A = this chain, B = another copy of it.
């Protein structure tokens, strides 16, 4: 049994497709369709289990009610969760989301962008990866609506929804200092992306404001692709140095996971051998023998707001630029508890 189309209904009802379209779209009033014929049309539609063809609708209207979501790394649970939020929120508004992960590769991101543009998505929500500025410019030029999520480029004027990473990292530093730690390192991705730089900057300022001198060796930058080995090397270096750190901030979930694995192998104890605060959030942090203190980003709000911004823009393309920085919250757990000797 083939799918029923407007035509089929029209034939059965003995009317033109226009009438059917009007009735089924609730425009009977404006277009003055007779009550009797309207009833008949609705009945036949139900009988044939009519389902409109989205392709045809979209082709005609130029709107697909589809959002392209490009995520820098879907294997990161933070992003996976944010994707869920975006999907749910979009669905609530009658939009479908097509998700793609570029795995932190600008090239892949570019491919995705094109595939999704071909698929006629109405707009994009993008967690940008390094080196994708040109793509942002492209979207602006082509006048394709989009919102940057979680990461943005301060030098490009765009809509965005992101976390105040500077503040989050600053808070993490302050928290460790207040808990009695003073030799505090940070591990981050080697990257010139703004959100990463902000995390390092916040950490540095926390030290500075507490008259702790920052040493270059305290900042460990590793490459995303070769994280596995570089994290180990970095931790080896930290342990070998005379200035033995007593606490570390991990700027991302992935770094923390890799580091924790290695720390376990080395039989180091958290927090006595090393206190830890990490960005990102996941069940792992709860179930680790020593629950990990982490920076909780307003995941739900980030996702929802990004959808909200985009949909507003889709409804009214003239809408002004929307930018928002949301505050993260430090969730203190065992992994950063006050040093025995220090003040509680």
Contacts and interface: CB of A to CB of B under 8 A. Distances in A.
A58 to B, nearest CB: 5
Interface stretch (A33-41, A113-121, A168-176, A213-221): A113-121
Contacts of A98: 96, 98
Contacts of A264: 287
A59 B51 contact: no
B120 A55 contact: yes
A54 B119 contact: yes
Contacts of A80: 80
Q: How many copies does the complex hold?
A: 2
A329 to B, nearest CB: 21
Contacts of A261: 286-287
A64 interface: yes
A115 B284 CA distance: 35
A1 to B, nearest CB: 7
A234 interface: no
A175 B223 CA distance: 40
B288 A288 contact: yes
Nearest to A62: B55
A117 B2 CA distance: 13
A96 B84 contact: no
A272 interface: no
Interface in A129-170: 141-143
Nearest to A51: B118
Contact of A119 (B96, B115, B282): B96
A52 interface: yes
Interface string A94-120: 001011010000000000001101111
A53 B84 contact: no
A274 interface: no
Nearest to A115: B96
B120 A53 contact: yes
A66 to B, nearest CB: 8
B287 A118 contact: no
Interface string A301-320: 00000000000000000000
A101 B97 CA distance: 12
Contacts of A30: none
Contacts of A54: 118-120
A257 interface: yes
Interface string A268-297: 000000000000001110111100000000
Contact of A142 (B1, B75, B87): B1
Contacts of A56: 59
With most chain B CB atoms within 10 A of its CB, the pick from A101, A264, A287 is A287
A326 interface: no
A314 to B, nearest CB: 17
Given A55-B59, A257-B283, 20 more contacts: A1-B142, A51-B117, A51-B118, A53-B59, A53-B120, A54-B119, A55-B58, A55-B64, A74-B84, A80-B80, A84-B101, A96-B115, A98-B98, A261-B286, A261-B287, A283-B284, A284-B284, A287-B287, A288-B289, A289-B289
